[in-house]
Amino acid sequence: MPTAMITGATAGIGAAFARRLAADGFSLVLVARDAGRLAASAEGLRLRYGVKAEVLPADLATEEGLTAVEGRLREGVDLLVNNAGFGHPGNFFDVPVADELRMLKVHCEAVLRLTLAALPGMRERDRGAVINVASVAAFFARGTYSASKAWVVNFSESTAAELTGSRVRVMALCPGFVRTEFHDRAAMDVSGIPGFLWLSADKVVREAMRDVALGRRVSVPDLRYKVIVGVGRLVPKNLAGEISRRLGRR
């Protein structure tokens, strides 16, 4: 039975990955900060799908948390979903630098270290995959969040290129607006986002699993967002940044 590790596994896209992979027969290693919520999520998956669901409480913004998760990955997994992440309420100049550094540790350092912990075993077996959850924001200029997600996309593409000729795959997943707890936790006002731009987490995961099976290095779920990203690459960067600022939060 294959094993998948999912970080940020208790809500939103992470929880949707857990449901999908459990339904596909994966044993799960669930990583999140909230031990109580993590245990409840694991128990629900065991009861519903009859799979093994291991819990690993860890804060990926800490050295202790990162080291613990790296150690579990070196025991071997078949799929790693680097999903943990968060946003900030407010503009770049209003956010304490300690909070910005915490974001970079979770979005960049954790993705780097956990990917590198998982890949040696996958390369030895010549199978496996890493899905790094980025964002459509990676293609637009919008503060540290979009900058960190742009790093995730570049890192994923670069690592995938290094694995050319192998059956191991690395992919960046770049969803748009998804109905999860993310925006509430970041205290973002998303009342101005048109309804047609919202995606379900289950749809995002469904398209991600299809794209990683096809060997794609970047997945942008939904035709609407493929068009938005395509247009964003054509318009001047300062205009794209202004559009992103107006849409992202008030």
Active-site residue (options: 17, 145, 177, 182): 145
Burial of 63: CB neighbours in 10 Å, binned 0-12, 13-18, 19+: exposed
Our measurement of the distance from residue 38's CA atom to the centroid of its chain's CA atoms, rounded to an integer in Å, reads 17
What is the DSSP code (8-state) at residue 106? Answer: I
Six-digit token string for 172: 């960046």
* Known active-site residue 145: yes
**What distance in Å separates the CA atoms of residue 146 and residue 77, rounded to the nearest whole number?**
29
**What distance in Å separates the CA atoms of residue 51 and residue 64, rounded to the nearest whole number?**
28
Query: Residue 4: what are its φ and ψ, rounded to 5°?
Result: -125, 135
53-57, strands of its sheet edge to edge: 53-57, 27-32, 3-7, 79-82, 128-133, 168-173, 218-219
Collapsed DSSP state (helix, strand, coil) of residue 55: strand
Q: What are the residue numbers of the active site?
A: 145
